[in-house]
Amino acid sequence: MSDFRTTLCLVLGALLLALWPGAAHAQKRTLVVALNQDPDVLDPTLARSYVGRIVFAHICEKLYEIDENLRIYPQLATDMPAVSDAGRTVTIKLRRGVKFNDGSPMDAEAVRFSLDRHRTLKGSNRRSELDGVTVVEVVDPQTVRLRLKTPLSPLAAILTDRAGMPVSPAAAQKLGDKFGTAPVCVGPWQFVERLPQDRIVVERSPHYFDPTAARFDRIVFRIIADDNVRLANLRSGDIDVMHQVAPTDAASLKKEGRFEVSNVTGLGYNGITVNLRNKSGKTQAPGDLGTPLADDPRVREALDLSIDREALNQVAWDGLYTPGCTAIAPNSPFFDKTRTCPARDVARAKKLLAEAGLAAGYAFEMVIVNNPQQRRVGEVIQGMAREAGFNIALTPKEFASSLKDNEDGKHQAFLIGWSGRVDPDHNIHQFHTCGGSLNETLACDEKVDGLLNKAREVSDVAQRTALYREAMDHILARRNIIYLYFQNYIAAFPKNLKGYKAVPDGLIRIKGTSWQ
Protein backbone atom coordinates (compact mmCIF):
# COMPACT_ATOMS: atom_id res chain seq x y z
CA MET A 1 0.00 0.00 0.00
CA SER A 2 2.82 2.39 0.85
CA ASP A 3 4.40 1.73 -2.58
CA PHE A 4 1.08 2.50 -4.22
CA ARG A 5 0.76 5.79 -2.29
CA THR A 6 4.31 6.76 -3.20
CA THR A 7 3.66 6.06 -6.87
CA LEU A 8 0.40 7.99 -6.74
CA CYS A 9 2.12 11.01 -5.17
CA LEU A 10 4.82 10.96 -7.83
CA VAL A 11 2.24 10.76 -10.61
CA LEU A 12 0.15 13.57 -9.12
CA GLY A 13 3.29 15.68 -8.62
CA ALA A 14 4.36 15.18 -12.22
CA LEU A 15 0.86 16.03 -13.41
CA LEU A 16 0.87 19.22 -11.32
CA LEU A 17 4.21 20.32 -12.77
CA ALA A 18 2.97 19.60 -16.30
CA LEU A 19 -0.21 21.64 -15.76
CA TRP A 20 1.54 24.46 -13.87
CA PRO A 21 5.20 24.94 -14.86
CA GLY A 22 5.48 27.66 -12.20
CA ALA A 23 5.29 24.94 -9.57
CA ALA A 24 8.68 23.69 -10.70
CA HIS A 25 10.17 27.11 -10.21
CA ALA A 26 8.41 27.47 -6.85
CA GLN A 27 10.40 24.48 -5.61
CA LYS A 28 13.74 25.75 -6.92
CA ARG A 29 15.93 27.30 -4.29
CA THR A 30 18.83 27.76 -6.71
CA LEU A 31 18.62 30.37 -9.44
CA VAL A 32 20.74 29.94 -12.57
CA VAL A 33 21.91 33.07 -14.41
CA ALA A 34 23.69 32.65 -17.74
CA LEU A 35 26.43 35.21 -18.47
CA ASN A 36 27.85 35.65 -21.95
CA GLN A 37 31.45 36.04 -20.73
CA ASP A 38 33.68 34.80 -17.93
CA PRO A 39 34.54 37.66 -15.53
CA ASP A 40 38.10 38.65 -14.82
CA VAL A 41 39.48 38.56 -11.25
CA LEU A 42 36.81 38.85 -8.54
CA ASP A 43 38.68 41.49 -6.58
CA PRO A 44 36.92 44.91 -6.56
CA THR A 45 40.26 46.71 -6.52
CA LEU A 46 41.71 44.94 -9.55
CA ALA A 47 38.63 43.98 -11.58
CA ARG A 48 37.49 45.76 -14.73
CA SER A 49 34.92 43.55 -16.51
CA TYR A 50 31.21 44.29 -16.86
CA VAL A 51 30.16 40.69 -16.17
CA GLY A 52 32.28 40.76 -13.01
CA ARG A 53 30.17 43.68 -11.79
CA ILE A 54 27.09 41.46 -12.09
CA VAL A 55 28.63 38.92 -9.72
CA PHE A 56 29.80 41.70 -7.37
CA ALA A 57 26.22 43.06 -7.19
CA HIS A 58 25.34 39.97 -5.15
CA ILE A 59 28.40 39.49 -2.94
CA CYS A 60 29.99 42.97 -2.70
CA GLU A 61 27.61 45.81 -1.97
CA LYS A 62 28.69 49.46 -2.12
CA LEU A 63 28.50 52.61 -0.06
CA TYR A 64 26.04 53.96 -2.64
CA GLU A 65 23.79 52.48 -5.32
CA ILE A 66 21.75 53.74 -8.29
CA ASP A 67 18.15 52.98 -9.18
CA GLU A 68 16.34 52.61 -12.49
CA ASN A 69 15.96 56.42 -12.72
CA LEU A 70 19.72 56.96 -12.22
CA ARG A 71 19.14 58.34 -8.72
CA ILE A 72 22.05 57.75 -6.33
CA TYR A 73 21.03 56.51 -2.88
CA PRO A 74 22.82 55.09 0.19
CA GLN A 75 23.39 51.33 0.34
CA LEU A 76 25.99 50.64 3.05
CA ALA A 77 26.07 54.32 3.98
CA THR A 78 23.12 55.85 5.82
CA ASP A 79 22.94 59.15 3.97
CA MET A 80 24.44 61.03 1.05
CA PRO A 81 27.95 62.41 1.63
CA ALA A 82 28.18 65.60 3.70
CA VAL A 83 30.48 68.11 1.99
CA SER A 84 32.33 70.89 3.78
CA ASP A 85 35.53 72.97 3.58
CA ALA A 86 34.63 74.34 0.13
CA GLY A 87 34.18 70.81 -1.20
CA ARG A 88 37.51 69.45 0.07
CA THR A 89 36.15 67.45 3.01
CA VAL A 90 33.55 64.69 2.62
CA THR A 91 32.00 62.86 5.57
CA ILE A 92 30.17 59.55 5.18
CA LYS A 93 28.01 57.89 7.85
CA LEU A 94 27.80 54.07 7.78
CA ARG A 95 25.04 51.61 8.61
CA ARG A 96 25.23 50.12 12.09
CA GLY A 97 25.52 46.41 12.70
CA VAL A 98 26.75 45.49 9.21
CA LYS A 99 29.03 42.47 8.91
CA PHE A 100 31.21 41.13 6.15
CA ASN A 101 30.44 37.66 4.89
CA ASP A 102 33.14 36.25 7.21
CA GLY A 103 31.29 37.69 10.23
CA SER A 104 33.76 40.51 10.90
CA PRO A 105 32.38 44.04 11.36
CA MET A 106 32.08 46.46 8.47
CA ASP A 107 32.94 49.62 10.37
CA ALA A 108 34.75 52.85 9.61
CA GLU A 109 38.17 51.25 10.02
CA ALA A 110 37.25 48.56 7.48
CA VAL A 111 36.03 51.21 5.03
CA ARG A 112 39.23 53.22 5.52
CA PHE A 113 41.26 50.06 4.87
CA SER A 114 39.27 49.33 1.71
CA LEU A 115 39.46 52.84 0.27
CA ASP A 116 43.21 52.95 0.91
CA ARG A 117 43.56 49.54 -0.73
CA HIS A 118 41.67 50.80 -3.79
CA ARG A 119 43.94 53.87 -3.88
CA THR A 120 47.32 52.24 -3.36
CA LEU A 121 47.34 48.52 -4.18
CA LYS A 122 49.70 47.67 -7.03
CA GLY A 123 47.73 47.24 -10.25
CA SER A 124 44.60 48.87 -8.82
CA ASN A 125 42.06 49.87 -11.44
CA ARG A 126 40.42 52.12 -8.84
CA ARG A 127 43.47 54.32 -8.33
CA SER A 128 42.64 57.08 -10.80
CA GLU A 129 38.98 57.03 -9.74
CA LEU A 130 40.08 58.04 -6.23
CA ASP A 131 43.23 60.01 -7.03
CA GLY A 132 41.61 63.19 -5.71
CA VAL A 133 41.52 61.67 -2.21
CA THR A 134 44.57 62.55 -0.10
CA VAL A 135 43.67 60.78 3.14
CA VAL A 136 40.84 58.71 4.64
CA GLU A 137 40.21 59.27 8.36
CA VAL A 138 38.20 57.31 10.92
CA VAL A 139 36.04 59.77 12.88
CA ASP A 140 34.22 57.14 14.94
CA PRO A 141 33.15 53.52 14.34
CA GLN A 142 30.34 54.62 12.01
CA THR A 143 31.92 57.64 10.31
CA VAL A 144 34.70 58.12 7.75
CA ARG A 145 36.08 61.42 6.51
CA LEU A 146 37.75 61.88 3.14
CA ARG A 147 40.17 64.76 2.60
CA LEU A 148 40.40 65.88 -1.03
CA LYS A 149 42.98 67.84 -3.02
CA THR A 150 40.18 69.71 -4.77
CA PRO A 151 36.39 69.30 -4.87
CA LEU A 152 35.38 66.00 -6.49
CA SER A 153 31.83 66.36 -7.79
CA PRO A 154 31.47 62.74 -9.04
CA LEU A 155 32.60 61.19 -5.73
CA ALA A 156 29.21 59.76 -4.74
CA ALA A 157 28.84 58.33 -8.26
CA ILE A 158 32.33 56.83 -8.07
CA LEU A 159 31.32 55.10 -4.83
CA THR A 160 28.33 53.44 -6.57
CA ASP A 161 30.76 51.06 -8.24
CA ARG A 162 33.79 48.99 -7.23
CA ALA A 163 35.61 51.90 -5.59
CA GLY A 164 32.72 51.98 -3.10
CA MET A 165 32.89 48.27 -2.23
CA PRO A 166 34.38 47.61 1.22
CA VAL A 167 36.32 44.35 1.49
CA SER A 168 37.00 42.37 4.65
CA PRO A 169 40.39 43.52 6.00
CA ALA A 170 40.89 40.12 7.66
CA ALA A 171 40.32 38.24 4.40
CA ALA A 172 42.35 40.70 2.31
CA GLN A 173 45.32 40.50 4.67
CA LYS A 174 45.11 36.72 4.91
CA LEU A 175 44.79 36.08 1.16
CA GLY A 176 46.98 38.90 -0.15
CA ASP A 177 47.14 38.83 -3.95
CA LYS A 178 44.87 35.76 -3.93
CA PHE A 179 41.91 37.70 -2.52
CA GLY A 180 40.15 37.54 -5.90
CA THR A 181 40.01 33.74 -5.65
CA ALA A 182 37.78 33.92 -2.53
CA PRO A 183 36.42 37.48 -2.18
CA VAL A 184 34.79 38.50 1.11
CA CYS A 185 32.62 41.62 1.14
CA VAL A 186 29.12 42.56 2.34
CA GLY A 187 26.25 41.02 0.39
CA PRO A 188 23.05 38.98 0.54
CA TRP A 189 25.06 36.08 -0.90
CA GLN A 190 28.65 34.96 -0.32
CA PHE A 191 31.22 33.44 -2.64
CA VAL A 192 31.42 29.61 -2.72
CA GLU A 193 33.39 28.47 -5.75
CA ARG A 194 34.52 29.29 -9.25
CA LEU A 195 35.27 26.99 -12.18
CA PRO A 196 36.85 29.16 -14.91
CA GLN A 197 34.89 29.27 -18.17
CA ASP A 198 32.12 27.23 -16.51
CA ARG A 199 30.43 28.74 -13.43
CA ILE A 200 30.60 30.91 -10.32
CA VAL A 201 28.51 29.84 -7.32
CA VAL A 202 27.32 32.04 -4.44
CA GLU A 203 25.09 31.12 -1.51
CA ARG A 204 22.91 33.00 0.97
CA SER A 205 24.99 34.80 3.59
CA PRO A 206 24.07 34.25 7.26
CA HIS A 207 25.65 37.61 8.11
CA TYR A 208 23.74 39.99 5.82
CA PHE A 209 21.86 42.72 7.69
CA ASP A 210 18.58 42.15 5.78
CA PRO A 211 17.74 38.42 5.84
CA THR A 212 14.69 38.94 3.59
CA ALA A 213 16.76 40.29 0.68
CA ALA A 214 18.06 36.92 -0.57
CA ARG A 215 15.13 34.69 -1.49
CA PHE A 216 17.25 32.05 -3.18
CA ASP A 217 19.61 29.77 -1.31
CA ARG A 218 22.09 29.80 -4.18
CA ILE A 219 22.80 31.61 -7.42
CA VAL A 220 24.82 29.84 -10.08
CA PHE A 221 26.34 32.12 -12.71
CA ARG A 222 26.94 29.88 -15.73
CA ILE A 223 29.32 31.04 -18.43
CA ILE A 224 27.74 30.44 -21.85
CA ALA A 225 29.34 32.56 -24.56
CA ASP A 226 27.20 31.37 -27.46
CA ASP A 227 23.92 33.29 -27.86
CA ASN A 228 22.10 30.31 -29.36
CA VAL A 229 23.16 27.98 -26.56
CA ARG A 230 22.06 30.47 -23.89
CA LEU A 231 18.73 30.85 -25.65
CA ALA A 232 18.21 27.09 -25.92
CA ASN A 233 19.01 26.70 -22.21
CA LEU A 234 16.48 29.39 -21.31
CA ARG A 235 13.75 27.70 -23.33
CA SER A 236 14.52 24.30 -21.84
CA GLY A 237 14.52 25.64 -18.28
CA ASP A 238 18.18 24.77 -17.64
CA ILE A 239 18.82 28.44 -16.90
CA ASP A 240 16.44 30.94 -15.32
CA VAL A 241 17.86 34.30 -16.41
CA MET A 242 19.52 34.97 -19.75
CA HIS A 243 22.00 37.82 -19.87
CA GLN A 244 22.65 39.78 -23.08
CA VAL A 245 19.78 38.56 -25.24
CA ALA A 246 20.53 39.43 -28.86
CA PRO A 247 18.06 41.98 -30.32
CA THR A 248 17.21 39.45 -33.01
CA ASP A 249 16.05 36.98 -30.32
CA ALA A 250 14.16 39.44 -28.12
CA ALA A 251 11.15 39.68 -30.45
CA SER A 252 10.74 35.90 -30.74
CA LEU A 253 10.92 35.47 -26.95
CA LYS A 254 8.21 38.06 -26.48
CA LYS A 255 5.96 36.28 -28.97
CA GLU A 256 6.27 33.00 -27.09
CA GLY A 257 4.50 34.57 -24.12
CA ARG A 258 6.41 32.54 -21.50
CA PHE A 259 9.17 35.04 -20.83
CA GLU A 260 9.58 38.55 -19.58
CA VAL A 261 12.03 40.46 -21.79
CA SER A 262 13.67 43.38 -20.01
CA ASN A 263 15.19 46.03 -22.28
CA VAL A 264 16.92 49.16 -20.99
CA THR A 265 19.08 51.76 -22.75
CA GLY A 266 22.58 51.49 -21.34
CA LEU A 267 25.04 54.07 -20.05
CA GLY A 268 28.00 52.47 -21.80
CA TYR A 269 29.55 52.52 -25.24
CA ASN A 270 31.21 50.18 -27.69
CA GLY A 271 34.11 51.09 -29.94
CA ILE A 272 37.59 50.34 -31.23
CA THR A 273 40.42 50.98 -28.77
CA VAL A 274 43.56 51.80 -30.75
CA ASN A 275 46.94 51.28 -29.08
CA LEU A 276 49.05 54.43 -29.48
CA ARG A 277 52.01 54.08 -27.12
CA ASN A 278 51.58 50.92 -25.00
CA LYS A 279 54.62 48.89 -25.99
CA SER A 280 55.23 46.74 -22.91
CA GLY A 281 52.34 47.26 -20.49
CA LYS A 282 50.16 50.11 -19.28
CA THR A 283 52.26 50.66 -16.15
CA GLN A 284 55.50 50.90 -18.15
CA ALA A 285 56.96 53.91 -19.94
CA PRO A 286 55.28 54.73 -23.28
CA GLY A 287 57.12 53.61 -26.40
CA ASP A 288 56.99 54.05 -30.15
CA LEU A 289 55.08 51.14 -31.69
CA GLY A 290 56.37 51.96 -35.15
CA THR A 291 53.07 51.30 -36.92
CA PRO A 292 51.11 53.75 -39.10
CA LEU A 293 47.95 53.05 -37.09
CA ALA A 294 49.64 54.14 -33.87
CA ASP A 295 51.86 56.89 -35.24
CA ASP A 296 49.77 58.66 -37.87
CA PRO A 297 46.42 60.25 -36.91
CA ARG A 298 45.48 60.33 -40.59
CA VAL A 299 45.32 56.52 -40.63
CA ARG A 300 43.03 56.46 -37.60
CA GLU A 301 40.83 59.15 -39.16
CA ALA A 302 40.63 57.08 -42.35
CA LEU A 303 39.55 54.06 -40.32
CA ASP A 304 36.87 56.14 -38.60
CA LEU A 305 35.60 57.51 -41.93
CA SER A 306 35.39 54.01 -43.42
CA ILE A 307 32.67 53.02 -40.93
CA ASP A 308 28.97 53.75 -41.38
CA ARG A 309 27.60 53.73 -37.82
CA GLU A 310 23.95 53.69 -38.89
CA ALA A 311 24.51 50.73 -41.23
CA LEU A 312 26.52 48.92 -38.55
CA ASN A 313 23.61 49.27 -36.15
CA GLN A 314 21.12 48.01 -38.73
CA VAL A 315 23.17 45.02 -39.87
CA ALA A 316 24.59 43.90 -36.52
CA TRP A 317 21.78 44.89 -34.15
CA ASP A 318 18.58 45.12 -36.23
CA GLY A 319 18.62 48.87 -35.63
CA LEU A 320 17.84 48.47 -31.91
CA TYR A 321 21.00 50.13 -30.59
CA THR A 322 21.98 53.81 -30.85
CA PRO A 323 24.84 54.94 -33.11
CA GLY A 324 27.21 57.31 -31.36
CA CYS A 325 30.69 58.80 -31.37
CA THR A 326 31.36 59.87 -27.77
CA ALA A 327 31.67 58.28 -24.34
CA ILE A 328 28.47 59.86 -22.95
CA ALA A 329 25.19 58.05 -23.63
CA PRO A 330 21.99 59.82 -24.78
CA ASN A 331 20.20 59.07 -21.49
CA SER A 332 22.80 61.04 -19.52
CA PRO A 333 22.04 64.66 -18.52
CA PHE A 334 25.57 65.43 -19.76
CA PHE A 335 24.90 64.15 -23.30
CA ASP A 336 26.01 66.63 -25.96
CA LYS A 337 22.99 67.07 -28.25
CA THR A 338 24.91 69.44 -30.52
CA ARG A 339 27.46 66.88 -31.70
CA THR A 340 27.03 65.03 -34.98
CA CYS A 341 29.05 61.94 -35.81
CA PRO A 342 31.22 61.88 -38.94
CA ALA A 343 29.43 60.40 -41.93
CA ARG A 344 31.06 57.58 -43.85
CA ASP A 345 33.37 58.99 -46.52
CA VAL A 346 35.30 56.29 -48.38
CA ALA A 347 36.88 58.75 -50.84
CA ARG A 348 38.21 60.91 -48.02
CA ALA A 349 39.49 57.79 -46.20
CA LYS A 350 41.41 56.67 -49.28
CA LYS A 351 42.88 60.15 -49.71
CA LEU A 352 44.08 60.17 -46.08
CA LEU A 353 45.73 56.76 -46.51
CA ALA A 354 47.45 58.00 -49.66
CA GLU A 355 48.71 61.10 -47.83
CA ALA A 356 50.09 58.76 -45.15
CA GLY A 357 52.02 56.85 -47.84
CA LEU A 358 49.59 53.92 -47.82
CA ALA A 359 47.90 54.31 -51.20
CA ALA A 360 48.25 50.55 -51.74
CA GLY A 361 46.29 49.88 -48.55
CA TYR A 362 47.07 49.05 -44.95
CA ALA A 363 46.75 45.79 -42.99
CA PHE A 364 46.44 45.43 -39.22
CA GLU A 365 45.06 43.04 -36.63
CA MET A 366 41.96 43.77 -34.56
CA VAL A 367 41.18 41.60 -31.55
CA ILE A 368 37.53 40.74 -30.89
CA VAL A 369 35.95 38.90 -27.99
CA ASN A 370 35.15 35.37 -29.09
CA ASN A 371 31.37 35.39 -29.10
CA PRO A 372 28.83 35.55 -31.96
CA GLN A 373 27.76 39.15 -31.34
CA GLN A 374 31.28 40.58 -31.40
CA ARG A 375 32.24 38.44 -34.39
CA ARG A 376 29.26 39.87 -36.26
CA VAL A 377 30.24 43.46 -35.43
CA GLY A 378 33.87 42.78 -36.34
CA GLU A 379 32.94 41.31 -39.69
CA VAL A 380 30.75 44.29 -40.59
CA ILE A 381 33.59 46.71 -39.73
CA GLN A 382 36.05 44.52 -41.63
CA GLY A 383 33.89 44.66 -44.77
CA MET A 384 33.32 48.41 -44.60
CA ALA A 385 36.99 49.21 -43.96
CA ARG A 386 38.09 47.00 -46.85
CA GLU A 387 36.38 49.36 -49.30
CA ALA A 388 38.62 52.18 -48.03
CA GLY A 389 41.84 50.18 -48.36
CA PHE A 390 42.14 48.50 -44.96
CA ASN A 391 42.80 44.78 -44.61
CA ILE A 392 41.74 43.97 -41.06
CA ALA A 393 42.57 40.53 -39.68
CA LEU A 394 40.08 39.63 -36.93
CA THR A 395 41.59 37.71 -34.01
CA PRO A 396 38.99 36.20 -31.62
CA LYS A 397 40.14 35.82 -27.99
CA GLU A 398 38.60 34.70 -24.71
CA PHE A 399 37.26 37.73 -22.86
CA ALA A 400 39.30 37.89 -19.64
CA SER A 401 42.59 37.02 -21.35
CA SER A 402 41.93 39.64 -24.04
CA LEU A 403 41.61 42.30 -21.34
CA LYS A 404 44.94 41.23 -19.85
CA ASP A 405 46.64 41.22 -23.26
CA ASN A 406 45.31 44.72 -23.91
CA GLU A 407 46.76 45.95 -20.61
CA ASP A 408 50.10 44.40 -21.60
CA GLY A 409 50.19 46.25 -24.92
CA LYS A 410 49.77 43.18 -27.11
CA HIS A 411 46.98 44.59 -29.28
CA GLN A 412 47.06 46.98 -32.22
CA ALA A 413 43.30 47.48 -32.03
CA PHE A 414 40.65 45.99 -29.76
CA LEU A 415 36.88 45.92 -30.38
CA ILE A 416 35.64 46.38 -26.84
CA GLY A 417 33.04 48.31 -24.85
CA TRP A 418 32.54 49.87 -21.46
CA SER A 419 29.34 49.15 -19.55
CA GLY A 420 28.98 52.75 -18.43
CA ARG A 421 28.53 54.66 -15.19
CA VAL A 422 26.02 57.20 -13.98
CA ASP A 423 28.55 60.06 -14.01
CA PRO A 424 30.50 60.77 -17.24
CA ASP A 425 33.76 61.18 -15.31
CA HIS A 426 33.80 57.43 -14.80
CA ASN A 427 33.41 56.84 -18.54
CA ILE A 428 36.15 59.24 -19.64
CA HIS A 429 38.71 60.29 -17.03
CA GLN A 430 40.44 56.98 -16.34
CA PHE A 431 40.63 56.12 -20.07
CA HIS A 432 42.01 59.40 -21.38
CA THR A 433 44.12 61.14 -18.74
CA CYS A 434 47.88 60.70 -18.64
CA GLY A 435 48.43 57.78 -16.27
CA GLY A 436 44.71 56.96 -16.00
CA SER A 437 44.27 53.50 -14.51
CA LEU A 438 42.36 52.25 -17.59
CA ASN A 439 44.34 54.24 -20.15
CA GLU A 440 45.72 51.21 -21.95
CA THR A 441 46.50 53.14 -25.14
CA LEU A 442 48.88 55.44 -23.16
CA ALA A 443 47.52 58.48 -24.96
CA CYS A 444 48.54 61.64 -23.10
CA ASP A 445 47.56 65.26 -23.60
CA GLU A 446 47.82 67.81 -20.79
CA LYS A 447 44.98 69.85 -22.32
CA VAL A 448 42.66 66.85 -21.98
CA ASP A 449 43.84 66.26 -18.41
CA GLY A 450 43.16 69.89 -17.51
CA LEU A 451 39.63 69.83 -18.91
CA LEU A 452 38.70 66.51 -17.31
CA ASN A 453 40.18 67.49 -13.95
CA LYS A 454 38.29 70.79 -14.05
CA ALA A 455 35.05 68.87 -14.77
CA ARG A 456 35.64 66.97 -11.53
CA GLU A 457 35.83 70.18 -9.53
CA VAL A 458 32.61 71.87 -10.64
CA SER A 459 29.11 70.62 -9.93
CA ASP A 460 26.99 72.67 -12.33
CA VAL A 461 25.67 70.37 -15.10
CA ALA A 462 25.93 73.01 -17.83
CA GLN A 463 29.53 73.83 -16.91
CA ARG A 464 30.53 70.19 -16.78
CA THR A 465 28.78 69.44 -20.08
CA ALA A 466 30.75 72.24 -21.76
CA LEU A 467 34.05 70.93 -20.33
CA TYR A 468 33.29 67.40 -21.53
CA ARG A 469 32.36 68.75 -24.97
CA GLU A 470 35.74 70.48 -25.28
CA ALA A 471 37.63 67.46 -23.94
CA MET A 472 35.83 65.15 -26.36
CA ASP A 473 36.85 67.43 -29.25
CA HIS A 474 40.49 66.63 -28.46
CA ILE A 475 39.82 62.95 -27.76
CA LEU A 476 37.88 62.45 -30.99
CA ALA A 477 40.67 64.09 -32.95
CA ARG A 478 43.37 61.75 -31.62
CA ARG A 479 41.08 58.68 -31.86
CA ASN A 480 42.68 56.40 -29.29
CA ILE A 481 39.09 55.18 -28.94
CA ILE A 482 36.82 55.26 -31.99
CA TYR A 483 33.32 55.26 -30.48
CA LEU A 484 30.68 53.40 -32.50
CA TYR A 485 27.39 52.88 -30.66
CA PHE A 486 25.52 52.70 -27.36
CA GLN A 487 23.91 49.36 -26.63
CA ASN A 488 20.72 48.27 -24.91
CA TYR A 489 20.86 45.71 -22.13
CA ILE A 490 18.35 42.94 -22.76
CA ALA A 491 17.66 40.14 -20.28
CA ALA A 492 14.99 37.42 -20.32
CA PHE A 493 13.46 35.22 -17.63
CA PRO A 494 10.20 33.32 -16.95
CA LYS A 495 7.21 35.53 -16.25
CA ASN A 496 6.74 34.16 -12.75
CA LEU A 497 10.08 35.57 -11.60
CA LYS A 498 8.83 38.75 -9.95
CA GLY A 499 10.55 41.84 -8.56
CA TYR A 500 13.22 42.30 -11.25
CA LYS A 501 14.14 45.93 -11.98
CA ALA A 502 16.17 46.97 -15.01
CA VAL A 503 18.78 49.65 -14.31
CA PRO A 504 20.64 51.46 -17.13
CA ASP A 505 24.02 50.22 -15.86
CA GLY A 506 22.99 46.83 -17.27
CA LEU A 507 23.62 44.86 -14.09
CA ILE A 508 21.39 41.89 -13.34
CA ARG A 509 20.22 42.24 -9.73
CA ILE A 510 18.57 39.20 -8.15
CA LYS A 511 18.19 40.81 -4.72
CA GLY A 512 14.48 41.18 -3.97
CA THR A 513 13.28 38.81 -6.72
CA SER A 514 11.38 35.58 -6.13
CA TRP A 515 9.19 32.98 -7.83
CA GLN A 516 5.47 33.69 -7.63
Residue 257, domain CATH: 3.40.190.10
Domain boundary among 172, 190, 213: 172
- For residues 322 and 433, give the distance between their C-alpha atoms in angstroms, rounded to a whole number: 26
Q: How many CA atoms lie within 13 A of 60 on its CB side?
A: 28
Q: Are residues 322 and 220 in the same domain?
A: no
Domain boundary among 146, 172, 198: 172
Ordered DSSP codes for 151-186: --TTHHHHTTSGGG----HHHHHHHGGGGGGS----
What number of CA atoms fall less than 13 Å from residue 171's CA on the CB side?
24
Residues 306 and 324 in one domain: yes
Secondary structure (3-state) at 475? helix
Instruction: Using alpha carbons only, give the angle 362, 439, 457 rounded to the nearest 5 degrees.
Output: 135
> pLDDT for 180-196, tens place per residue?
999 999 999 999 999 99
Which of 141, 172, 203 is the last residue in one of the domains?
172
pLDDT tens, 457-488? Answer: 999 999 999 999 999 999 999 999 999 999 99
Indicate whether 235 belongs to any domain: yes
Q: Which residues contact 103 (CB under 8 A, 6 or more apart)?
A: 207
Q: Model pTM?
A: 0.90
- Helix 297-305 with 346-355: angle, nearest 10 deg: 160
Q: Strand pairing of 218-223 and 30-35? A: parallel
Pairing of strands 189-195, 199-204: antiparallel
* Total residues found in the chain within this entry: 516
In a domain, 389, yes or no: yes
Measured CA distances, 203 to 216, 267, 375, 383, 510 (Å): 8, 30, 34, 46, 12
Enumerate residues 6+ apart whose C-beta is below 8 A from 160. 62, 63, 64, 65, 66, 72, 421, 422
| Structural domain count, the chain | 3
First vs last C-alpha separation in the chain: 35
Q: Which of 351, 368, 339, 341 is nearest to 302 (CA)?
A: 351
d(CA 466, CA 321): 26
Assigned domain for 227 exists = yes
- Does residue 49 fall inside a structural domain? no
pLDDT at res. 248:
85
Query: Looking at 292-397, which runs of residues are DSSP E strands?
Result: 322-323, 362-369, 390-397
CB neighbour list of residue 465: distance below 8 Å, 6 or more residues apart? 333, 334, 336
Residues 158 and 241 in one domain: no
> What is the distance between the alpha carbons of residues 500 and 64, in angstroms, rounded to a whole number?
19
pLDDT at 28: 82
Nearest to 56 by CA among 513, 514, 512, 509: 509
The β-bridge relationship of strands 362-369 and 390-397 is: parallel
Q: What is the pLDDT of residue 15?
A: 42
Identify whether 140 is part of a domain: yes
**Integer Cα distance of 287 and 311 in angstroms:** 36
350 with 392, same domain: the answer is yes
Give yes or no: residues 505 and 463 share one domain: no
Rounded to whole angstroms, what are the CA distances from 473 to 352, 394, 479?
20, 29, 10
CATH of the domain at 371: 3.10.105.10
Domain presence at residue 13: no
Residue 116, phi then psi, degrees to nearest 5: -65, -35
- Give the domain range for residue 496: 19-41+177-266+489-515
Residues 273 and 252 in one domain: no
Q: Does one domain contain both 35 and 80?
A: no
92, part of any domain:
yes
State the pLDDT at residue 25.
Answer: 55
Residue 261 falls inside a structural domain: yes
Which pLDDT belongs to residue 1? 41
- 322 and 218 co-located in one domain: no
Cα distances (angstroms) measured from residue 290 to each of 165, 294, 375: 41, 7, 28
Q: Are 126 and 240 members of one domain?
A: no
> What is the pLDDT tens value at each position of the chain, 516 positions in all?
444 443 344 444 444 444 444 445 555 899 999 999 999 999 999 999 999 999 999 999 999 999 999 999 999 999 999 999 999 999 999 999 999 999 999 999 999 999 999 999 999 999 999 999 999 999 999 999 999 999 999 999 999 999 999 999 999 999 999 999 999 999 999 999 999 999 999 999 999 999 999 999 999 999 999 999 999 999 999 999 999 999 889 999 999 999 999 999 999 999 999 999 999 999 999 999 999 999 999 999 999 999 999 999 999 999 989 999 999 999 999 999 999 999 999 999 999 999 999 999 999 999 999 988 899 999 999 999 999 999 999 999 999 999 999 999 999 999 999 999 999 999 999 999 999 999 999 999 999 999 999 999 999 999 999 999 999 999 999 999 999 999 999 999 999 999 999 999 999 999 999 999
